[in-house]
Amino acid sequence: MFQNKTVFITGGASGMGLLSGKCFAAEGANVVLMDINQEALDAAVAECGGNTIGIQTDVTKYEQLVAAKDKAIETFGSIDIVLPCAGGAEGRLAEDYTEFKDRDIAIFDFGIDLNLKGAVYAAQVCLNQMAKQMSGVIIFLGSITGVEGGGSGAVAYSCAKSGLITGATKSLAQYGAKYNVRVNCVSPGPVLTREAMAKMETLIGRAADPQEIVDLILYLASDKAAFITGTNFLIDGGRNIMPKRKYEKK
């Protein structure tokens, strides 16, 4: 389905990024995986196989994403799909479980830099190439947390995901249309990429298998979704519409 297409994936050494890379590679795509962890990245490239390369990249450093984009074009000649997956709740990643009111503001800044700016940076550095090609697809990875809030431990994460769901997705879809670039967002509820996710309630009564999320990503990246742009797809097992639900402590 994706023969001769190049996919640019941040956070590609684990979780949704890695699984997406494996699935795109299995469908014939050239895959560019980026991650800050070189050892995990090397293992991910081997796991994906096919035409896959890995580029150690810190997505909070714009110049590193520029260099990764240049390497992708040098290697494969195009960038057709951008999937920014790097991210996570700032409290968990920083192992800081203090209340938001007491937390070092640098941790909030880290959360915004990683989850919002890093994703938009990835889109921006690739848009010039997509404009030259007059084609492209950008798929942001949102979250149910961007809709319902994230509690004290994930204020920056929630702010960032809300920004991707509405501001980045809609604005870049409006901008990208003249270049035949589609932009959408996939916002999962609990996904079994971490054991703790199984404890989050959904109307269906379970967390998602990661493949269920990636199947939606693959569809939106394909020509079957050629008439879809500027939309957020909430894939949350009905969590957002559950009545009388108590919010878990984050």
- Which CATH number do you get for residue 195? 3.40.50.720
Which of 121, 157, 175, 247 is the catalytic position? 157
Task: Determine if the pTM surpasses 0.85.
Answer: yes
Residue 249 maps to a domain: no
Q: Which amino acid is at 27?
A: E
| Token pair listed for 159 | 């702010």
Rounded to whole angstroms, how far apart are CA atoms 185 and 224? 16
d(Cα 19, Cα 196) in Å, to the nearest integer? 19
Q: What is the pLDDT of residue 12?
A: 98
* CB-neighbour burial class of residue 42 (10 A; exposed 0-12, middle 13-18, buried 19+): middle
| Helix, strand, coil percent content, the chain, rounded in steps of 5 | 50, 15, 30
Q: CA 240: distance to chain centroid?
A: 20
Instruction: Please give the structure tokens belonging to residue 157.
Output: 């994460």
How high is the pLDDT of residue 98? Answer: 92
Q: Is residue 172 part of a domain?
A: yes
List pLDDT tens digits, range 140-174. 999 999 999 988 889 999 999 999 999 999 999 99
Indicate whether 248 belongs to any domain: no
204 DSSP 8-state letter: S
62 catalytic residue (yes or no): no
d(CA 216, CA 237): 14
- Tell me the average pLDDT across 68-92: 97
Domain assignment present for residue 246? The answer is: no
pLDDT at 103 over 70: yes
Nearest to 139 by CA among 20, 3, 13: 20
Residue type, 221: A
Query: What's the domain range around 127?
Result: 6-241
Q: What's the total number of domains in the chain?
A: 1
| In-domain check, residue 247 | no
Quick one: DSSP state of residue 34? E
Residue 250 is assigned to a structural domain of this protein: no
Is residue 1 in some structural domain?
Answer: no
Q: What is the pLDDT of residue 250?
A: 43
CB 6 within 8 A of CB 30: yes
Is residue 32 in a domain? Answer: yes
